[in-house]
Amino acid sequence: EQVPVPVYHPTPSQTRLATQLTEEEQIRIAQRIGLIQHLPKGVYDPGRDGSEKKIRE
């Protein structure tokens, strides 16, 4: 059984297999994944006090 290799997009116009990434690209992706884990996971709720406002519509 063949295990599928993950595909990454280092830039929007590039598609590469995980085995084709340079060490620098791998580090950059790992850092992005680490940052994504810190983003809020909730659903936006404007609330009544208006403390959370939309930046733009």
Structural domain includes residue 54:
no
Structural domain includes residue 56:
no
Structural domain includes residue 12:
yes
Burial (CB count within 10 angstroms: exposed 0-12, middle 13-18, buried 19+), residue 31: exposed
Structural domain includes residue 27:
yes
- The answer, yes or no, to whether residue 56 has pLDDT greater than 70, is no
Task: Report the domain count for the chain.
Answer: 1
Place of tokens 């340079």: 22
Give pTM, 2 decimals.
0.51
Residues 48, 31: Cα–Cα separation, whole Å? 36
Structural domain includes residue 17:
yes
Residues 25, 3: Cα–Cα separation, whole Å? 22
Residues 37, 56: Cα–Cα separation, whole Å? 24
Give residue-wise pLDDT tens across range 5-46. 889 888 889 899 988 999 888 888 888 888 888 777 777 666
Q: Which domain holds residue 24?
A: 7-36
